[in-house]
Structure 1
Amino acid sequence: MAPTPTIRQVARLVNTQPSQDGDGVKIQRLHDFGGGLDPFLMLDELASDQPDDYIGGFPPHPHRGIQTLTYVIHGGLTHEDHLGHSSTIHAGDAQWMHTGRGIIHSEMPLTDHRGLHAFQLWLNLAARDKLSQATYRDVRAEEMPELRGRDAFLTALGGHWETLAGDSVDGPLASLAGQGAIAHARLDAGGELALANHATTLLVYVFDGSLDVAGRRVGKGQLARLGVGEALQLSSDGGAQALLLAGEPHGEPIAHYGPFVMNQQTELEQALRDYRDGTLTD
């Protein structure tokens, strides 16, 4: 008989904070540039039915040293970059950007009758990849496989996901930094989802309703950092939605300034010089 897996408990809860970015776009933000969420750095949630909150979007701006993942719940976003990519994503779609040495891009919002609801996640690149070649791809909703629990569904954007019953899927994004895995969990009222997960970093961000995570309530706008163990147990009395993030820490120094994330202050200064000199993306 196989041993009963150890259920991962909530080690820490963090609340989102209101912020603004781009051209005055109002967001709810979670960030930790001190390594507390390694390999993840930041999660922004943009959710509003008021166009003035987001219509200015994110005009052209640079990045170096990170990956970004943008995922749309409803509405849409149009991406353009200096590499010549131009793509629009809608509900259920995602776009992934490996900024490497440098990329200059814009993301401009599209609205529907409910406004716009989307996320952007920053993943830190390992030191060896900070100056690698920039790449981009979009992922359509129909490319993302699903797992099922009891009145619960998991959509895999990237990485490997597996239920305790042994069913598994791999999301289309297979090159996420820090062996990253990202999924969208949806639980109906009374739903349950039990996952096998051994990742060193495991995070649950609730953006709709509330979840019971191993016996602890996690409400809307809260991020739960899970402790060590072998399984993730989720349930909800009234229904909930959450992003699930798993990965392995780089364990490297983090130096951050605006859109640049490097390992040392001198590397940040070089990034700023390169951007001013027009050589960031060379």
Structure 2
Amino acid sequence: MNMNPTEVKVQQQLVARPASDGAGVKLLRVFGGAQLERFDPFLMLDEFGSDQAADYIAGFPAHPHRGFETVTYMLQGKMEHRDHLGNVGLLADGGVQWMTAGKGIIHSEMPKQTEGRMHGFQLWVNLAAERKLIPAHYQDIAAEDIPWQQFTGFSVKAIAGAIKVNDIQLQGFFSIADTEVIYLDISLAPQQSISLPITEQLNAMLYSYSGAIRIGSVGTLNKEKTLSLLTGSGSLIITNNNNEEAKFLFIAGKPLRQPIKQYGPFVMNTAAEIEQAIHDYQNGVLTS
């Protein structure tokens, strides 16, 4: 394979836009809701972050999901999960929750703090058609259990997937068979660069949440709060030309290449399946 870094390019850039969800939680919607095939197998990425309790205190009261997975990564703060299965979990600083809604789950996500900063991300990952109705389950993983490594000039928190960073093999906590999700949180020191392998088999993207980075040999600028969709294959060079540390997410996954029909918290393959999900929820059998 030709590993020339010029083969990997920025296909499109999106600037995160203000939104609200749940009971009025203020957040930034990085992508979601339109032209989802571009992001396949991913459906949505939100960044939530505020020092003001009024922006997050109302939380996300009980609501349903069917047909996909949610990955909540908490940089700072405390959020309690409760669901219809009787599960209760606390997601705290640096922790990750990977929840598979499958056939159906009704859960709430409520802040367990009344002051201070809350900052994190929620990523939605689609499920293959044959797995959309599997039993719901979830995992809460504490920060100390997620692989984290410090290298000269950069550090990597490996939430999911296997990948080489600067030719160093890393293995994330989660291994997702169908979509082969790679999810990294990377901190890059000033005037440093790293190399990531990009393959055409996976849809890949970068999201800068603190500071700006330069992408590829042409140095495409990826500003703070900006997502870059990538195309091509080869070694992608990412550089921090600034005087402060840059922090960004690298997310990649294998496209399912299946029809996507979404209605709010339900993501299925056909309109009839969406209608069934609504009917099941209204009749109290979504999760049975």
Q: Using structure 1 for the length normalisation, give the TM-score.
A: 0.94
What's 1:236 paired with?
240
The alignment-based identity, stated in percent, is 37
| Paired position in structure 1 for 2:23 | 23
Q: Deviations over 1:126-164 (max 9, x none)?
A: 111111111100112122223555411111001112124
Mapped contact 1:77–1:90 kept (Cα < 8 A): yes
CA distance in 1, matches of 2:66, 2:280: 11
Q: State the SS of the aligned residue for 1:173.
A: coil
Q: CA RMSD in A?
A: 1.7
- Cα 1:113/1:104, change in 2 over 3 Å: closer
Q: Is the 8 A contact 2:198 2:232 kept in 1?
A: no
Kindly provide the amino acid, as one letter, of the partner of residue 251 in structure 1: R
Letter aligned with residue 256 of structure 2:
H
Instruction: Tell me the CA shift for residue 16 of structure 1.
Output: 1.1
| Inter-CA distance 15–193: structure 2 relative to 1 (3 Å threshold) | same
C-alpha contact (below 8 Å) 2:24/2:58 kept by paired residues: yes
Partner of 1:257 in structure 2? Answer: 263
C-alpha distance in 1 between matches for 2:28 and 2:2: 41
**Distance in 1 between residues matched to 2:148 and 2:114, nearest whole Å:** 25
Alignment-derived partner of residue 191 in structure 1 = 192
Equivalent in the alignment of 2:273: 267
User: How far does residue 83 in structure 1 lie from its aligned partner after superposition?
Assistant: 1.3
Q: Name 2:142's counterpart in structure 1.
A: 140
Distance in 2, Cα, partners of 1:4 & 1:262:
37
**Aligned residues between the structures:** 280
Distance 1:3 1:146 in 2: 30
Aligned counterpart, 2:92: 90
Residues 4, 128 of structure 1: alpha-carbon distance in 2 compared, 3 angstrom cutoff: closer
Question: In the alignment, is the contact (CA less than 8 A) between 1:147 and 1:168 conserved in 2?
Answer: no
Could you tell me which amino acid in structure 2 is paired with residue 69 of structure 1?
A: V
* Match runs of 1:1-282 below 5 Å: 4-7=3-6, 8-29=8-29, 30-31=31-32, 32-111=34-113, 114-165=116-167, 167-175=168-176, 178-198=179-199, 199-214=201-216, 215-238=219-242, 239-282=245-288
> 2:265 & 2:55 partners in 1: Cα distance?
21
Is the CA contact 1:37–1:201 (under 8 Å) kept in the aligned structure 2?
A: yes
Structure 2: gaps (5+ residues): none
Calculate the TM-score normalised by the size of structure 2. 0.92
When structure 1 is superposed on structure 2, of 3-12 and 50-59 the one drifting more is 3-12
Are 2:2 and 2:234, in contact at CA under 8 Å, matched by a contact in 1? Answer: no
Deviation at 1:233, TM superposition (A): 1.5
Paired residues of 2:76 and 2:92 also in contact (CA < 8 A): yes
